[in-house]
């Protein structure tokens, strides 16, 4: 887990101050995508590394493998929430 600037999910306003990448040492960069752990929203880091909702156009431009990963993460979040 990497500490990030304190931020809020722009969709559910959950407090966010860290991120986890595919590799342990991954650090977020502008344009990287993420998923809110609370609401499952697809997000993107902007130039200031603030989180913004991922637009439909931005989503469509993602690599198909990235889309699959985002979907699997959001599905895992939904299952986790349903189980608790």
Q: Domain extents for the chain?
A: 2-83
Which is more confidently placed, 19 or 53? Answer: 53
pLDDT digits (tens, 9 = 90+) for 62-82: 999 999 999 999 899 888 878
pLDDT digits (tens, 9 = 90+) for 3-25: 888 999 999 999 998 888 777 67
Query: Which pLDDT score, from 0 to 100, does residue 20 have?
Result: 80
Distance CA 79, CA 23 (A): 24
Distance CA 35, CA 31 (A): 13
**If pLDDT is split at 50, 70 and 90, which confidence band does 83 have?**
confident
């Amino acid at each position: 887990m990497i500490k990030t600037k304190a931020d809020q999910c722009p969709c559910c306003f959950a407090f966010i101050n860290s991120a986890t990448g595919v590799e342990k040492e991954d650090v977020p960069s502008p344009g990287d995508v993420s998923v809110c752990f609370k609401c499952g929203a697809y997000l993107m880091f902007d130039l200031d590394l603030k989180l913004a909702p991922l637009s439909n156009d931005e989503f469509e431009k993602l690599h198909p493998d990235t889309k699959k990963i985002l979907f699997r993460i959001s599905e895992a979040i939904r299952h986790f929430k349903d189980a608790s």
